[in-house]
Structure 1
Amino acid sequence: MTEIVSKQLQAIEQQEKVIGPWREAWLSFKKSKSALVGSAIVLFFVLIAILGPFFAPQGINDQNLSLRLQPPSAEFWFGTDELGRDIFSRIIHGARISLTVGLAAVLISAGAGSFLGIIAGYYGRWIDTIISRIFDIMLAFPSILLAIAVVSILGPSLQNALIAIAIINIPSFGRLIRSRVLSIKEEEYIHAARAIGMKNSRILWKHILPNSMTPVIVQGTLAIATAIIEAAALGFLGLGAEPPQPEWGKMLADARMFLLNAPWAMIFPGLSIMLTVIGFNLMGDGLRDALDPKMKS
């Protein structure tokens, strides 16, 4: 009997050894119901962005003034706007715009911020001082005001709004990676790599960068939600997408004059923004709990 129990214990120990850190993180992620709900919401909007435009019932720019401000019905599920355009079809196409802006802006800011943060944290001295002071100056301004200033300089357009959102998010990634690098570069395996004559570029690429990616993944997921809100805010102010692009923030701005007569024209774009942001936030919280060792019990 004792031999059977010991064999079972050995099998359990071997199974636990086989489980790697990424598999362990995935198992932890699956235990969070809120993270799974957030992932389902994100997946839903991603599928809408990819496949939705092919199944949209109406054209996004098909105008019919005789059908303007129609309430939701069997023909127009989300009603029509002030020009008689189908709101449901425009929201479907708007999902592709909002998600593209959010993802692209975060990829750019994460790449640039990670590069600057690694350089500042690893080399230190005057390089760290210059980069850190630039980050401090950028963080001294409210993000939306800095984005408005950048778009005002470059000119109102969706592309320039994307660039502005990417720029204002660089310091958050840079400071995050810098703090991570400051702790990693003091590890024994980094000192050992220097001792055997490994070049700094190889140390950065092979050791520092891979071990710094966990917080970037978590921060990137949460930053997508922020980028979508910032893109909607710029669109609402007329500094983002230009007509007739069906961007959610621009749709809110166009419908604000008809809030009392046709509230559905603002409700559905607003709900789309809210649900997308909630989905990314819930998924980001789940990733943080799964990837951060300090959050594990």
Structure 2
Amino acid sequence: MVQQALRWLKRRAAVIAEQGWWLAFWLAGAVRRATRAVGPRVKPWSTPGGQRVLALAPHPDDEACGCGGALLRHRAAGDAVTLLYVTDGRRSRSLGLSPDEMAARRRAEAAQAAAVLGVTVWHWLGLPEWEWEIEDLAPRLLAELETGQPDVIYAPSRVDFHPEHWKVAHALAVALAQWPGTPRVRVMALQVPLGSALTNLVSSTASVGEQHRAAIAAHASQVYSTARTQRMRRYTAVACGLPGEAEAFWEMTAARYQRLHASAPSTWPIVFRSLRAGPWTDGLAYLWGRRTRHTLSRD
């Protein structure tokens, strides 16, 4: 009985903590809009239709958590969407599975998520997590760019701390440097928030909320990491005066993305942190690396 009561208290405390942060983001957003504080102008997501869209997922679940709502909206508008799953996610330690079992599990989850997102063109590169190099990926990304000729690319970035997210971002920069196309690149907020200094495009998921949640739920083996991204989407929505949840993006030209990610990831400063499993310190993820975010916004 005591343990049950303690678990109940912890759950209630977590709800209260998240509500506290939600209120803080609401207040910060209201002040920013009222005073027109310095920062990028945040545009609402839109598409003219007929677009070719490429989404790069360093791991299975990054597509659903990072841009799943936007992909659903692209599909509803008639855009052609291609999903590229880079690694096989075998190093996840959940469920007590062996690496090979986990890789098979995550491929099955990716297939289910892609189906929920309505994406029929998806590629499983299956690079073994933690066991691949930039040279393994960059030529394959270049081939995808040349074949698919995307107008919009959803991608990870250096606003992160995960080595594999960084490597995918750098590999994309290498590929973009060799391709003459001029797509718009939309940096996704994965577990690290972009913050007000970088967010310049927001996609409300209100119209596709049920499908979006189902796509995330398809990655059932990663429930402990996907839950924190849901809180981040709620904070984004309330800070921007939107209902429910919203995805934040940092949109830029391909040339700017290439320039920001051209150097080796080993030279990038490790200054960011993610939201943790519980909501207790969520706000710190937006404060850590704040100066670097402002520097990047001007580069």
Q: Same fold (TM over 0.5)?
A: no
Structure ranking higher in helix proportion = 1
Q: Which has the larger radius of gyration?
A: 1
Structure ranking higher in strand proportion = 2
Give the TM-score taking structure 2 as reference length: 0.28
Give the TM-score taking structure 1 as reference length: 0.28
